[in-house]
Structure 1
Amino acid sequence: MIVAPAFIKQLQAAQLTMPPIVLIYGEEPLLIRQSLDAFRAFAKNQDYLQRDTYEVDAKFDWQSLEMDTQAGSLFAERRLIELSMPSGAPGKVGGDFIQKWAQLRHDSPPEIVLVILCEKLDGKQTKSKWVQVIEQTGLVVQSRPIELKALPAWCQQRALSVGLSLDLEAANVLAERVEGNLLAADQEMEKLSLLFAQGTQLQVQDILNNVADQAHYQLFALSTAALTGQTAYALQILNRLKQEGLEAPIILWLLAKEVRTLVQLCELQQKVSLAQAYKQLFIWNSKQAEYSQALRRQSLQGWQELLRLCTQADFEIKGIRKGDAWLSLNDLVVKMAQ
C-alpha cells in the first residue's frame, strides 16, 4: 500500500512499473482525483491512449466487462479501464472477477490496466480477498485526509504550484476558512491565482477579502462580532444568515468551536501565560485580539455555562429537546458578546 502523495511523486518522476491493476481509495476526494489524473498522464506517456470508464452499482454487468477484457484489441492497443465503485462493494461476482484478473499472467507492460476507484473502505473491506489480491499483484493507493495542523503547510505548497506564496499566518487563515476541506482549499487557490499576479505574496487580509462566498464570509464575521462584543451587529448577521437559508447546525458548529477554544484558554491560563496558551492552541495573531477581548468579559465558569447552552441548541436542532434552536442561537450570541 502507498499513500497518495508518494504515489503521485513516483508517477511524476516516472519511477513506476505499470501494474495490471490499481486500486485508489480513501477519504480525501482531492487526492483521489490528483492520483487518478497523475496516473492517466503517466499511462498516456506509456502509450495507453484508450480509456474506458464504467460506473459500478448493484446491477453492474461484470460478465460483460469480463468478455470485454478477454476480447483484446485488434491492433493490441494499450488501454485503461476505469471502474468507479464508490461503495467498495463489488459483490461476489465482481470480487471473483477482480481476483481472477489480478492473478492472470499479464504482459509487461500489460495491454489493459484496470483502475478501481472507491471512497473510504472500512477495516473489513480492506481485508477482503479482492483488495488483498490487488495489493499482492498490483498497487493499492490510499488517500488519507491531511491533518488540520498540516494543512497550512499544504496550502503554502499549493500556492507555490500556482505561482503565488503565502506566509504561515495567511496559510493558517486559509486553512481555517475552508474548515480543513482540502478540495475547497484547492479551489480557493485556483481562484486566487486568477485574482493575483504571478509572484504575489498573499497576506492575511487578501485571504479574508477573497476566500469563500459571501454567506461563508458572514459566518466568520458573526464569530468576530460575538468575540469582540458587538452584540447588535452580531445579531444582525445572525438574522441575515437565517434569512439566506444557512442551516442552524453550521452556525452552531462555529459558535461552539469558539466557546470550546475559550474554555481551553481559560483552563490553560491557570497554568501558563496567555501568550503560551495561544501558542499551545495554535491561535495566530489575527485571532488573538478577538479572543483576548472575549476573555476579559467572561470567566471559565461563564464559558462553561455557554457550552451547556450549545448542547441545548444541539438537542433542539436534532429534535431531542423541545424548543426553537434559532432562539437558543440568538441567546448564545448575546451571551458571548456581553
Structure 2
Amino acid sequence: MKYDYWGLVKHLKHPLRQVYVLHGDEILLQQEALIALRQAAQQQGFSERERHDIDKQHDWSMAFSDSHALSLFADKKLIEIYGNKPDAAGAKVIEDYVKHPIDDNVVVLVLPKLDSNTQKSKWFSACDELGVTVSCAPLSDQQFKDWLNQRGRQLKLQLQADALDELCQQTEGNLLAAHQELTKLSLLYGEELLTREHLQHALSDNARFELFDLANTALMGDASKTAKIFFSLKGEGQAESLILWVLNKEIRTLLALSEGLQQGIGLNQLFQQHGVWSKQQAVIQKALKRLSLKRLQALNHTLLEADKAIKGQSLENAWDILLRLSLGLAGVSLFEAII
C-alpha cells in the first residue's frame, strides 16, 4: 500500500501493518513520519523499540535475525532499520522476512530516495503488499503551502495570505528552514495575526544574502572566497541548518542535472525541468564540468551526514562537515579521498 506523508497519518489511526518502508530525500518529512509511527506504535502496545544501522559491521541479515529474538520486557516491538538501498543479499533477506513476518513485530525500513526500478523490485513490492511504503519526496508548491498552514496551526500562528506567500518565497520549499522560521515567529508574536510586514521584519534578509553568497561562490569554483564566507557566517553565529539548506539546494540540483545528462536528456530541457534561471545557467554548466556524477553523489551522501550531526545524531562536528560540503561544491576535497 503506497502513501505519502499525509496518507500515512490517516492510516495510523488504524491497526499497524507489519512492515513499513519510509523512503525519500525530504529528511524532515521522513523524520516526522517516523515520529508519527512511533507514537501510533506506542498507543497500540508496542512498548519496546530497537534500532539497527546497516554498515560493514551490521548487515541486513543481522538486523533481521535480531528481530526474531524474544523480548524479556515486552511482547510487541517496533524495529527501525536504517540503511541505503539494499544490495542483492539485503533484498533477499527482506523478501524472506516478508514471507514469514513476526506477528508481534513492526519493522520500519528508513531509506534514502529509491529510483523507479527499485520500487518495482521484488523486495519493495513484497513490502508494499504486506505493509505500507511511504514516499517522503520534496513537496509540490501547493503541498508545501498546505504543510506551512498545518504547522502554523500547530504553533497557534495566524498567517494572512500575503504573509503565507512571503514565507513560501523566503523558504523556497525547504521544510527545515520553514519550520525554524515558524517557530521563531511563534516566539516573537504568539497568537497575533501576522502580515507580510511582520515576516519582513522578522526574517533577516542580510543574513540570507550572505548565505546565498556562500552557495553562489562555491558554484563558481572560488574555494578561497568560499572559505572566507563560510568562516564569516560561522563567526556571526549563523544557524548550521540554514547553511545546510543553501548547500543542499545547489547540490541536489546539480545531482539531478548530472543524472539527467547521463540519461541522454538535453541540458536546456533539464534546466526547464529543475527551474534553473537563465542567469544561473552558465555558472551551473561550469560546475557540472568541474564536478563528476560520482563526486556529486558523494556530496549528496555528505548532506545526510551533516543533517545527522546538526540534529545530534552523530558524534562528528557539524561545522566540519559543512566546511567539507562548501569546499566540495567549489571543487576542493577536504579531509577525504579525492573522488
Q: How does 1:104-183 map to 2 (within 5 A)?
A: 104=100, 106=102, 110-183=103-176
1:79 alignment partner in structure 2: 77
Alignment gaps of 5+ in structure 2? 214-224, 234-242, 251-276, 291-339
Matched residues in 1 for 2:226 and 2:73: separation?
61
SS at match of 1:54: strand
1:9 alignment partner in structure 2: 10
* Count of residues in correspondence between the two structures: 238
Matched residues in 2 for 1:115 and 1:316: separation?
41
Matched residues in 2 for 1:54 and 1:116: separation?
10
Question: Residues 311 and 74 from structure 1, CA distance in 2 versus in 1: closer, same or farther, beyond 3 angstroms?
Answer: closer
CA RMSD of aligned residues (A): 3.3
C-alpha distance after superposition, 1:32-60 (max 9, x if no partner): 11111111000011121111111113553
Q: Once the two structures are aligned, what percentage of the paired residues are identical? A: 28
The CA deviation at 1:182 is 1.8
2:309 alignment partner in structure 1: none
C-alpha distance after superposition, 1:123-175 (max 9, x if no partner): 11111111010011111111232212443343222211100111111111111
SS at match of 2:208: helix
2:52 alignment partner in structure 1: 54
Q: How does 1:25-36 map to 2 (within 5 A)?
A: 25-36=23-34
Q: Which has the larger radius of gyration?
A: 1
Question: Residues 192 and 61 from structure 1, CA distance in 2 versus in 1: closer, same or farther, beyond 3 angstroms?
Answer: same
Alignment gaps of 5+ in structure 1? 222-239, 255-305, 321-338
Question: Residues 213 and 242 from structure 1, CA distance in 2 versus in 1: closer, same or farther, beyond 3 angstroms?
Answer: farther
Question: Residues 313 and 142 from structure 1, CA distance in 2 versus in 1: closer, same or farther, beyond 3 angstroms?
Answer: closer
Matched to 1:4, the amino acid is Y
Matched to 2:37, the amino acid is F
The CA deviation at 1:31 is 1.7
C-alpha distance after superposition, 1:248-278 (max 9, x if no partner): xx79x99xxxxxxxxxxxxxxxxxxxxxxxx
Matched residues in 2 for 1:137 and 1:310: separation?
46
Does structure 1 conserve the Cα–Cα contact (< 8 Å) formed by 2:15 and 2:44? Answer: no
Question: Residues 75 and 152 from structure 1, CA distance in 2 versus in 1: closer, same or farther, beyond 3 angstroms?
Answer: closer
The CA deviation at 1:315 is 5.0
The CA deviation at 1:204 is 0.8
TM-score computed with the length of structure 1 as normaliser: 0.62
C-alpha distance after superposition, 1:215-239 (max 9, x if no partner): 2056799xxxxxxxxxxxxxxxxxx
SS at match of 1:154: helix
Question: Residues 241 and 128 from structure 1, CA distance in 2 versus in 1: closer, same or farther, beyond 3 angstroms?
Answer: closer
SS at match of 1:145: coil
